[in-house]
């Protein structure tokens, strides 16, 4: 059987909830007292280390933060960058696309050419899309009067 | 004259706790280091800690009118910070691509403590590093309780308020955290 503090008793001492029995033991047992001091010191140094790093950072960046800067701080910088990039891309994309595929220049025709084209259009007996079909019918001789039915 | 003005302001803020945030720059100046310290110890990353600190004050600023004065401003800010840490660890899985600037372990080693001898400092540095590493392996709740108690020096009721749990839950988490931390620091017996 150990004559030293158990884990639970030791933890109670560290968190400041030790009972009378534990306190008496700590006073009487140099080993437990040294163990407690050792751990408390380590915790205290840990606290100092974190505090110093945070204080140093705040001292360096003390002017970075104020209530007026909070509205912009609410949105991280990378999100702003992403939004600006998307906005620029939305503007630039149509320009880039139109440059790579330039629109066909307007066809300038002489009045004679326009009249010729109009005459050709008016002289059509069937609509232009049907013209190839009509030429096919006219060039192919009929098999017989019954339309090929024997 | 100035004293009576201050007294008047305190009396007003007792009636209307939201007045605590009237001068928000002052609130930030007063609490920024503490919030950053807690967040740094929680996430181990100065870049993230700074970003979460700004989020913490932004959230506080947005909801300052809902502050009812049931706890101190510090406890209220800690509650916001605790929630931010919780959300951070929930979303961390999708942040693998994010550039992180973790706190260099050397930074932990290099803090200047002039009160102890170089030999003692070397031994203590090793323990501090062990605590730092061990704290990372704790569960989020254990880590938060541990940091609020031993870095922020909050008492049990304040920790319970900050985390929205009971004092006995705080006690259980703290004991488990301490047991794990003690293993890493090493026992002398």
Q: What is the pLDDT of residues B73-118, one digit of tens each?
A: 889 999 999 999 988 887 765 454 444 444 555 555 555 455 667 7
d(CA B4, CA B185): 52
Nearest CA in chain A to B42: A50
Instruction: Please give the pLDDT value at position B47.
Output: 87
Instruction: Please give the pLDDT value at position B10.
Output: 42
Contact B25 A35 (CB under 8 A): no
B176 at A interface, C-beta within 8 A? no
Nearest CA in chain A to B153: A47
Instruction: Please give the pLDDT value at position B168.
Output: 94
Q: Which of B48, B84, B111, B146 to mutate to test the interface with A (most CBs of A within 10 A)?
A: B111
Token pair for A28: 């009487």
d(CA B150, CA A47): 7
Task: Report the residue from B57, B113, B171 with minimal CB separation from A48.
Answer: B113
pLDDT band at A30 (very low <50, low <70, confident <90, very high): very high
The DSSP bridge partners found for residue B45 are B102
Q: Which of B149, B153, B188 to mutate to test the interface with A (most CBs of A within 10 A)?
A: B188
pLDDT in tens, A87-126: 888 888 878 777 777 666 656 677 788 888 778 777 777 6
Instruction: Please give the pLDDT value at position B55.
Output: 92
Contact A46 B178 (CB under 8 A): no
d(CA B45, CA A150): 93
Q: Which residue has the higher pLDDT, A1 or A8?
A: A8
Q: How far is CA A133 from CA A130, A137, A139, B32, B152, in A?
A: 5, 6, 10, 84, 91
Q: Which residue has the higher pLDDT, A141 or A77?
A: A77
User: Interface pTM (ipTM) of the complex?
Assistant: 0.72
Instruction: Please give the pLDDT value at position B90.
Output: 77
pLDDT at A150 over 70: no
d(CA B58, CA A140): 85
Could you say which DSSP state residue B102 is in? B
Task: Give the up-direction half-sphere exposure of residue A54: CA atoms within 13 A in the CB hemisphere.
Answer: 26
Q: In terms of residues, how long is chain A?
A: 150
pLDDT, averaged per 10 consecutive residues of chain B (189 residues), comes to 42 53 81 92 88 92 83 90 89 50 52 64 78 88 93 92 93 93 74
Give the count of Cβ contacts less than 8 A between chain A and B.
Answer: 111
């Amino acid at each position: 059987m150990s004559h030293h503090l158990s884990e639970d008793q030791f933890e109670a001492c560290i968190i400041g909830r030790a009972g009378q029995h534990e306190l008496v033991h700590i006073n009487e047992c140099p080993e437990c007292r040294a163990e407690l001091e050792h751990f408390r010191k380590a915790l205290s140094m840990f606290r100092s280390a974190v505090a110093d790093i945070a204080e140093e950072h705040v001292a360096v960046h003390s002017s970075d933060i104020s209530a007026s800067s909070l509205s912009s701080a609410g949105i991280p910088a990378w999100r702003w960058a992403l939004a600006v990039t998307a906005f620029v891309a939305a503007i630039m994309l149509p320009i880039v696309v139109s440059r790579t595929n330039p629109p066909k220049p307007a066809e300038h025709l002489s009045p004679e050419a326009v009249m010729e084209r109009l005459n050709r259009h008016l002289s059509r007996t069937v609509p232009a899309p049907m013209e190839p079909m009509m030429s096919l019918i006219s060039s192919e001789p009929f098999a017989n009067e019954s339309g090929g039915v024997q | 004259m100035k004293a009576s003005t201050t007294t008047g302001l305190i009396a007003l803020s007792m009636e209307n706790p939201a007045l605590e945030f009237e001068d928000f720059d002052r609130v930030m100046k007063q609490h920024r280091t503490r919030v950053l310290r807690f967040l740094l110890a929680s996430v181990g990353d100065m870049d993230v800690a700074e970003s979460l600190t700004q989020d913490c004050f932004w959230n506080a600023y947005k909801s300052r009118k809902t502050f009812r004065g049931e706890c101190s401003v510090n406890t209220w800010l800690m509650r916001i910070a605790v929630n931010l840490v919780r959300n951070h660890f929930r979303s961390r899985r999708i942040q693998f691509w994010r550039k992180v600037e973790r706190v260099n372990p050397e930074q932990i080693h290099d803090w200047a403590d002039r009160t102890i001898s170089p030999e003692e400092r070397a031994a203590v540095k090793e323990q501090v590093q062990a605590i730092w590493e061990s704290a990372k392996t704790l569960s989020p709740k254990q880590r938060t309780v541990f940091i609020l108690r031993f870095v922020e020096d909050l008492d049990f009721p304040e920790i319970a308020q900050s985390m929205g749990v009971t004092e006995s839950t705080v006690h259980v988490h703290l004991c488990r955290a301490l047991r794990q931390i003690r293993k890493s620091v090493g026992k002398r017996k």
